[in-house]
Amino acid sequence: MNGPCPDATLRVFVISALPAVRAGLRALVGEAGDLQIAGEAPAMDALSAPGVLDPVDVVVVDPASTQDSSDLARLDGAGRRAGLVILGPIPNDERLATDLGGRAWAYVPRETSGDQLIAAIRAVASGLVTLDPILAAHLLARPGSGNAISPADGGESELTGREQEVLGLVAEGLANKVIARRLGISEHTVKFHVAAVLAKLGAGSRTEAARIGAQRGLVAL
């Protein structure tokens, strides 16, 4: 791993295809006094540019930015020494241990709390591998046991089980605060999921997302 900054501040690079998610991650990282945002990008491709990860200790990757664990191999080369925090679940995650061999990494749910995310970043920066218990059990499960639901046309990103839950509650007309209480997660996390659902369905609004979801059989109106 890269050593910490002289002032012991850890430098974090954020990757997400969704501007709202990047903003949320920036806010979370900014709340920790020992972390700072070193950069952000909408896709893994940005990491191929020379020197992008030279000053970075940990990269946080949102699942909307990666198709499966093989995409994470793009951190090889100049970014090989940077740790990795993956917000799961992602497809083909049973390959994570193989694809990320020799690297410090963490695999935590997208709905993880801010405190848990910060703890994962710090652990990875210390050279550790950190797994959420539920996702760790999933890594040991046989491929195909699946917790993701494919859109009807099969040509777009999958909705995770949690995203489908959020979509169903959005279709009921519930506000983020109510959805957060119903699912036992933070309102901040609900915003992440809503942004991901809209992006994956190609919807411009919550109403449109509900309509598309109903057309694809993902929700009942």
Which pLDDT value is given to residue 85? 92
Q: What percent of the chain is modeled with pLDDT above 90?
A: 16
Least confident of 11-15, 54-58, 76-80, 116-120: 76-80
Collect all residues with Cβ–Cβ distance below 8 Å to 194 and sequence separation of at least 6: 166, 170, 176, 206, 209
pLDDT tens profile 45-83:
777 777 777 778 999 988 765 555 666 666 654 455 788
Q: With contact defined as beta carbons under 8 Å apart, do 144 and 135 qualify?
A: no
Q: Which residue has the higher pLDDT, 212 or 145?
A: 212
HSE value, Cβ hemisphere, 13 Å, CA-based, for 48? 7
Query: 218: which DSSP letter?
Result: S
Pick the range with the lowest mean pLDDT from 125-129, 157-161, 209-213, 215-219. Answer: 157-161
Q: What is the mean pLDDT of residues 113-134?
A: 88
Structure-block tokens of residue 217: 């059989």
Give 159's strand partners. 149
Enter the pTM of the model. 0.62
Where would I find the beta strands (DSSP E) of 67-149? 83-88, 105-109, 130-131, 148-149
Phi first, then psi: give them for residue 105, nearest 5 degrees: -155, 160
Write down all domains in the chain, each with its CATH number in brackets: 10-140 (3.40.50.2300), 148-215 (1.10.10.10)
Compute the average pLDDT of residues 2-27.
77
- CB-based burial label for 174 (10 Å; 0-12, 13-18, 19+): middle
